[in-house]
Amino acid sequence: MQSLTWWQTAVFYQIYPRSFADGNGDGIGDFAGMIDRLDYLRDLGVGALWLSPHYPSPNADCGYDISDYTGVAPEYGTLDDFRRFLDGAHARGMRVLLDLVLNHTSVEHPWFRESRSSRDNPKRDWYIWRDPAPDGGPPNNWYSAFGGSAWTFDETTGQYYYHFFFKEQPDLNWRNPDVKRAMWQAIRFWLDMGVDGFRLDAIDTIFEDPALTPHESRLSQIEMLRIWRENRSPEETKELWEQFALMFRYQVQQPGLHELMKELRALVNEYPGDRVLIGEGDDIAYYGNGSDELHLVFNFPLMRTNRLTPAWVRANQAERLAALPPGAWPCNTLGNHDVGRMWTAYGDGVNDAALARLHVAMLLTLKGTPVLYNGEEIGMTDLLLERFEQLRDNQAVNLYHLAVGDGIDPAEAMKMAAAISRDRCRTPFQWANAPNAGFSPPGVTTWLPVNPNYAQGVNVADQEQNPDSLLNYYRRLIGARQAIPALLAGDYAPLHPDEDRYLAFLRTTPDQRCLVVLNFSPEPVTTGFDLNGARLRTLFSSHPRPTRDEHPERLTLAPFEAYIGEVIRIGTDWE
Ligand code: GLC
């Protein structure tokens, strides 16, 4: 078997620290809580933990606005607490990755405070300052991805600063070598401490066009919002996406990124133990030549649908795997802190429970490193907030104001805001069927409301008691995956490419071949595979199944069943 490193075989698990476990009873997650739950994570079978930002932050963007890159947010604990967490994870065989936000800092970061203090401050050029346009307005027509202009006027010095995200997140000027030096130092601080790698936030946006070329999108953001609310034909949707891309054309994926990623990779390579870089970027080119930029780049295109179908997944895999440079390793995910929860996003409203099992089986059997988002394993769902004061995601707050300003009825605007609000997937983790779902003590107001469905079995304690629960299914599935070399290392070869009821593929190493069949239909399917007379030894099924070997020429799957069988070799070769 090709020898693989830990980040190729481990199941990754994203922890959203604010919502994972509240150890001190203040309604906010923290390191004490995370430390208490390390055994839970080990028992789940995950091998690497990625923490969303744990740094000090005024929380204009829930921690993605960092005011100290080498500290710990006081509400999460101290640096010593962090060390205990890191050591505790390592002692249990789990790696730890941090979130690294390179594009911007918080307005509260000392670098920005200095930078904004005067035009001749030595850190002035650490951020992107420009004079107003002749009419006093912003330097150009660029938008912030979170709504409104990308430029904010600063009274003190009479110039505008640039921010791709919120105005509380000024973009660093990565063309200034001092910025890089300071950030590399912060990275070394964590690597020296023993952190195993980083998830790189929003890399697409690190550089912007220095000429500040205005965008040529025909639509304004408010017009887009109006059109978005109307029923659209596929042509109109396509047109909308094109205009959207035009809108940000000079602000994303600008020259310089690949050189920067190479430098970062070289820095990380100086450390022993195969530290890893995972990119939140849209471009497969961040893999570089397969070994000189990022180790992993999320396969986001897989997620860009509200219905995972066999055809969709096959097309995605065909395109993605073909595009990977030699030696590059795939990385698949179906959820994170920015999107709807997998259960809600890909459910059909009728078979959600069965689909949740099927989809995660797919994620864990496709080729590559799978990344789970905390709470998926107990079937947490989106929670739509009802009142404006409950919103914590300022993106939703902005949208609400934009909509109300455009004459939309406030109740309707609130529904729109709740539907896009990233709060919907960030609610407190549900540990027990108890007040506050066992996340915080009874009577405490949690930072976001707890989803009331904890009382309907969506909680860890109840599911631990039930052998058929989703949680126990996840444990069994992860355990199976980790024990089947072909699922970890094997090539991927789709079978029955025109079939729309099920997805079937082989995963093959020189020593082992497995057949994976995922029945996406609500009916049983009987199918046949020509595997040269070989038998199938059942290794895993989402459903109860006789333990006998199966004949691949006639294999019957229950509705939504996920089946993994080892192909019993009859000759010396697979073919
Ligand atoms: C990334 C993060 C998101 C954040 C944004 C700005 O997309 O995942 O949560 O708001 O970057 O940092």
Q: Do residues 375 and 342 lie in contact, with contact meaning Cβ atoms separated by under 8 Å?
A: no
Residue 553 has pLDDT above 80, yes or no: yes
Q: From the CA of 225, how far away is ligand 1's center (Å)?
A: 21
Confidence of residue 360 (pLDDT cuts 50, 70, 90): very high
Q: Which residue from 248, 338, 422 has its CB within 8 A of the most atoms of ligand 1, so it is best to mutate?
A: 338
Nearest CA to ligand 1 atom 4: 64
d(CA 378, CA 457): 9
Strands 369-373 and 491-495: unpaired
Structure-token pair, residue 300: 């986001």
Nearest CA to ligand 1 atom 2: 201
- 368 contact partners, CB below 8 Å, separation of at least 6: 299, 329, 330, 331, 332
> What residues pair up with 527 in beta bridges, in sequence order?
555
* Ligand 1 neighbour 66 (Cβ under 6 A): no
From the list 341, 308, 305, 301, the residue with the least C-alpha distance to 422 is: 341
Q: How far is the CA of 222 from the centre of ligand 1 (A)?
A: 22
> Out of 22, 61, 171, 201, which one is annotated catalytic?
201
**Is 236 marked active-site?**
no
Q: What is the dihedral of CA 53, 331, 341, 38, to 10 degrees?
A: -50
The end-to-end CA distance of the chain, in Å, is 18
User: Residue 213: phi, psi to the nearest 5?
Assistant: -55, 130
Please write the tens of the pLDDT for every residue from 180-194: 999 999 999 999 999
> Is the C-beta atom of 168 inside 6 A of ligand 1?
no
Q: Is the C-beta atom of 61 inside 6 A of ligand 1?
A: yes
Contact 166, 65 (CB under 8 A): yes
Q: Is 202 near ligand 1, meaning CB less than 6 Å away?
A: yes
Ligand 1 center to residue 166 CA distance, Å?
10
| pLDDT tens-digit map of 172-183 | 999 999 999 999
Question: Is 573 a known active-site residue?
Answer: no
pLDDT digits (tens, 9 = 90+) for 7-22: 999 999 999 999 999 9
User: Residue 574 — very low, low, confident or very high, per pLDDT cuts 50/70/90?
Assistant: low
Average confidence (pLDDT) over 321-334: 97
CA distance 101 to 123: 19
Mean per-residue pLDDT for 106-129?
98
338 CB near ligand 1 (under 6 Å): yes
Q: Which residues contact 27 (CB under 8 A, 6 or more apart)?
A: 440, 444, 445, 446, 447
Does residue 204's CB lie within 6 angstroms of at least one atom of ligand 1?
no
Closest ligand 1 atom, residue 101 Cα: 12
| Lowest-confidence segment of 13-22, 217-226, 313-322 by average pLDDT | 217-226
Q: Give residue-wise pLDDT tens across range 467-509.
A: 999 999 999 999 999 999 999 999 999 999 999 999 999 999 9
Average pLDDT, the chain: 96
Q: Which of 379, 395, 378, 396 shows the shortest CA–CA distance to 387?
A: 396
Question: Phi, psi (5° rounding) for residue 260?
Answer: -65, -45
Question: According to the model, what pLDDT value does residue 539 have?
Answer: 97
Output the pLDDT for position 128: 98
Q: Say how many C-beta atoms besides its own lie within 10 A of residue 563's C-beta.
A: 26
pLDDT in tens, 63-102: 999 999 999 999 999 999 999 999 999 999 999 999 999 9
Question: Which of 64, 54, 65, 50 lies closest to 28, judged by CA?
Answer: 54
Nearest alpha carbon, ligand 1 atom 12? 64
At residue 228, the pLDDT reads: 74
pLDDT of residue 304: 92
Nearest CA to ligand 1 atom 11: 202
Q: Which numbered atom of ligand 1 lies nearest the CA of 103? A: 12
- CB of residue 99 inside a 6 A radius of ligand 1: no
Measured in angstroms, how far is the CA atom of residue 545 from the centroid of ligand 1? 43
User: If you search the block for the tokens 């994870």, which residue do you land on?
Assistant: 89
Q: Give, for ligand 1, the residue of 51, 55, 64, 337 to mutate: max count of ligand atoms closer than 8 Å to Cβ.
A: 64
- The predicted pLDDT at position 282 comes to 83
Token output for 522: 């609500």
Q: Is the pLDDT of residue 547 over 90?
A: no
Please, where are the H alpha helices in 57-170? 79-91, 110-117
CB-CB contact of 289 with 325 (8 Å): yes
Residue 154 pLDDT more than 60? yes
Q: How far does residue 252's CA lie from ligand 1's centre (Å)? A: 14
Stated as kind and residue range, the H or E segment containing 536 is strand 535-541
Dist CA 495 CA 505 (whole Å): 5
For residue 1, what pLDDT is reported? 46
Alpha-carbon distance of 149 to 247, in angstroms, equals 12
Q: Is residue 361 pLDDT above 50, yes or no?
A: yes
For tokens 């006789």, the residue is 546
pLDDT in tens, 223-267: 887 777 776 778 888 888 889 899 999 999 999 999 999 999 999
The H or E element containing residue 489 is helix 485-489
Q: What are phi and psi of 55, to 5 degrees?
A: -85, 160
Q: Are 522 and 561 in contact (CB under 8 A)?
A: no
Residue 501: the pLDDT is: 98
- Measured over the CA atoms of residue 394, residue 337, residue 492 and residue 550, the dihedral's sign is negative
- Residue by residue, DSSP assigns 99-117 as EEE-SB--TTSHHHHHHHH
Whose CA is closest to atom 9 on ligand 1?
338
pLDDT at 116: 98
How large is the average pLDDT for residues 385-401? Answer: 96
The tens digit of pLDDT for each residue in 10-60 reads: 999 999 999 999 999 999 999 999 999 999 999 999 999 999 999 999 999
Share of the chain above pLDDT 90, in %: 91
103 CA distance to ligand 1 centroid (A)?
A: 10
- The per-residue pLDDT for range 1-10, each reduced to its tens digit, is 458 999 999 9
Comparing CA positions, the residue from 212, 427, 415, 405 lying closest to residue 341 is 427
